[in-house]
Amino acid sequence: MKFSKNIPETDLVKSELLTKEGWKKLKEPNSPGKGLLFSLPFMFINAFIFLIFSYLLNPQLYKSILALSEFNLSISLNLKALMYLIGVLVIFALHELLHAIIIPNFIRSDKTLWGINGVGLFIYSAERISKIRFVLISIMPFVVLSIIFPIILAILGLFNIYAIILGLLNAMGSSVDFLNLFLVLIQVPKDSLILANGGETYYQNNL
């Protein structure tokens, strides 16, 4: 895995070569902005699922929140606030790391990149990936950070409002992952390989 300042641009020569080799281009949003726009329904669905799930983990916590007669919002730069901010950054970093660990040979792969851009930490891979592995890559951060981790915290008696906020942010931040997953599930045949070329995604039957 190598460091990169930006996600690679689409290589048009490679796109033409892939098409000649029988790879098919996935029908998907052609820009990050459109991708975010089309992912909004998944953002609301993920948020709803997490809030219902977290309510079932600790109904009393939600009852305490709803029982508050008023909310006081204050911003102060202190150590506690800084720790909360660091926690948010850690969650988003873990989100990307959980994507990476499912990528084949991600540590030694020279086709897998990591970096930091205006949005935050990103992981990009041009490795050939099976459809089932793509599914796992897509859902792993949501399952681990918004399902399994809250369950562990609830068992330990540490599930609180801050944990709900972190889990909710991760669930909403998984919206683009679920958009990509949805597009792959409805377009890509079962036994196929998936390959990224910058902002484009290609697939080919592996039989």
Is it the case that residue 206 has pLDDT exceeding 90? no
Is it the case that residue 207 has pLDDT exceeding 90? no
Is it the case that residue 117 has pLDDT exceeding 90? no
pLDDT of residue 69: 45
User: What average pLDDT does the segment 84-89 reach?
Assistant: 88
User: What average pLDDT does the segment 162-172 reach?
Assistant: 95
Report pLDDT digits (tens) over 1-60: 998 988 899 999 999 999 999 999 999 998 889 999 999 999 999 999 999 999 999 888
pLDDT of residue 46: 97
| Domain residue limits, the chain | 2-67+76-205
Is it the case that residue 171 has pLDDT exceeding 90? yes
Burial of residue 173 (CB within 10 Å: 0-12, 13-18, 19+) is: buried
| Parallel, antiparallel or unpaired: strands 24-25 and 2-3 | unpaired
User: What average pLDDT does the segment 158-183 reach?
Assistant: 95
Backbone angles phi, psi at 2, to 5 degrees: -115, 155
User: What average pLDDT does the segment 138-166 reach?
Assistant: 95
Q: Compute CA distances 174 → 46, 148, 158, 165, 192, whole Å.
A: 8, 15, 24, 14, 24
Q: Binning pLDDT at 50, 70 and 90, where does residue 67 land?
A: low
Is it the case that residue 150 has pLDDT exceeding 70? yes
Answer yes or no: are the C-beta atoms of 120 and 24 closer than 8 Å.
no
